[in-house]
Amino acid sequence: MRTSFSSAAELLALVAADGRSLPEWMVAREAFLTGRDGAAVRDEIARRLSITRTALARGFKEPQRSVSGLTDGAAAKLHALAEPPVRDELWNRALAYAVAINEVSACGGRIVAFPTAGSSGIVPGLLWAWRDEREGDLTASSPRLQDAVAVAGAIGAVIAARATLSGAAGGCQAECGAAAAMGSGALAWLASGDPDRAFNAAALSLKNSLGLACDPVAGLVEVPCVKRNAFLAGNALVALTLDSAGVRSAVPFDEVVSAMKAIGDMMSPQLKESAEGGLAMTPTGLRAKAAMEAGFPDASRS
């Protein structure tokens, strides 16, 4: 089996020549690369999906509070919001779910890097919101939900091949930006079953997060990360809406990813996870850093 690709164009050509669907082909490729069978790959996708669902439930049930105090139960607040100003359940669930999972990550809980810990709420938040709103009979064992994960993975794999999925190397466009591209593509695939639409939605989404800095306060994966998971889940839903309306990205996905790489290379190291620029250098950011270096004297350690 030919498994090597480094662009969406190449991937989609391979898949078209193969005859299987994009997710089926991705599962077969994974089986080939890791020496297991397709069923084992699907079981592992199911296991990872279940871990995200557990984290999601935990983020709502136990308001998550981090040692730094920078994470303080935003998901529980969103969950309790009786009259959301935007009245769309897919939207509201996606934002709350993304935050819930990411708060569990910020507080040292068990999650799946999706594709990273800092961006871990976006893709599963979108998938579970879709499931709860649109297709309530889906579970982690449903091939359809697993297929959506495989589509998200295909998009992330192209980004990793052409650019990076690391905030330290490419800024937050490479983490939350990449996650939103993956999530929008997965939902576009659920909506249409068309791999080309998945990459179109991903291109639309990624264009809107180009240049996003990684400037975490005190170097902690909390501010802006946790709330950004909600914002970028929203970004993905905008891309989904555009794609559903037939709006095409003027710049194709592969070129957008190359642009992301070029921007990441141009970005100062101060804006790439070093906590030496942007929000990290605001008075508030510096106070949080001083508190961390003093061992968080104000925090009630649990």
Binding site for ligand SF4 (CB under 6 A): 116, 118-119, 167, 172, 175-176, 214, 216, 221, 224-225, 273
Check binding of 222 to another protein (CB under 8 A). yes
User: Among positive and negative, which fits the CA dihedral 187, 193, 199, 203?
Assistant: negative
Name residues contacting another protein, limited to 94-153 (CB under 8 A): 104-118, 120, 123, 149-150, 152-153
Specify the residue, 179 or 202, whose C-beta has the smaller distance to ligand SF4: 179
Specify the residue, 158 or 176, whose C-beta has the smaller distance to ligand SF4: 176
Specify the residue, 104 or 201, whose C-beta has the smaller distance to another protein: 104
Check binding of 83 to another protein (CB under 8 A). no
Distance CA 149, CA 163 (A): 20
Torsion region of 213: left, alpha or beta (phi above 0 gives left; psi -120 to 50 gives alpha): beta
Q: Which does 158 bind (CB under 5 to 8 A by kind): ligand SF4, another protein, none?
A: another protein
Specify the residue, 154 or 242, whose C-beta has the smaller distance to another protein: 154
Q: Which stretch binds another protein (CB under 8 A): 77-85, 202-210, 214-222, 235-243?
A: 214-222
Check binding of 34 to another protein (CB under 8 A). yes
Check binding of 172 to another protein (CB under 8 A). no
Q: Which does 219 bind (CB under 5 to 8 A by kind): ligand SF4, another protein, none?
A: another protein
Residue 272 β-bridge partners: 214
- Alpha carbons within 13 angstroms on the beta-carbon side of residue 111 total 30
- Alpha carbons within 13 angstroms on the beta-carbon side of residue 184 total 33
Contact 236, 191 (CB under 8 A): no
For residue 192, give Cα distances in angstroms to 40, 201, 224: 27, 11, 33
Distance CA 211, CA 161 (A): 19
- Alpha carbons within 13 angstroms on the beta-carbon side of residue 47 total 7
Q: Which does 176 bind (CB under 5 to 8 A by kind): another protein, ligand SF4, none?
A: ligand SF4
Question: In the bound complex, what is the minimum distance in angstroms from residue 115's beta carbon to ligand SF4?
Answer: 10
Specify the residue, 23 or 167, whose C-beta has the smaller distance to ligand SF4: 167
* Distant-in-sequence, close-in-space partners of 185: CB < 8 Å, separation ≥ 6: 151, 152, 154, 155, 198, 199, 201, 202, 205
Q: Is 302 exposed, middle or buried (0-12, 13-18, 19+ CB in 10 A)?
A: exposed
Question: In the bound complex, what is the minimum distance in angstroms from residue 146's beta carbon to ligand SF4?
Answer: 25
Question: In the bound complex, what is the minimum distance in angstroms from residue 267's beta carbon to another protein?
Answer: 12
Question: In the bound complex, what is the minimum distance in angstroms from residue 130's beta carbon to another protein?
Answer: 17
As given in the structure block, the two tokens for residue 107 are 């507080």
Contact 39, 143 (CB under 8 A): no
Check binding of 210 to another protein (CB under 8 A). no
Specify the residue, 26 or 221, whose C-beta has the smaller distance to ligand SF4: 221
Contacts to another protein by CB under 8 A: 3-6, 11, 26-27, 29-30, 33-35, 41, 44-45, 47-48, 51, 66, 68, 104-118, 120, 123, 149-150, 152-154, 156-158, 160-162, 164-169, 174, 182, 216, 218-222, 269, 272-276, 292-293
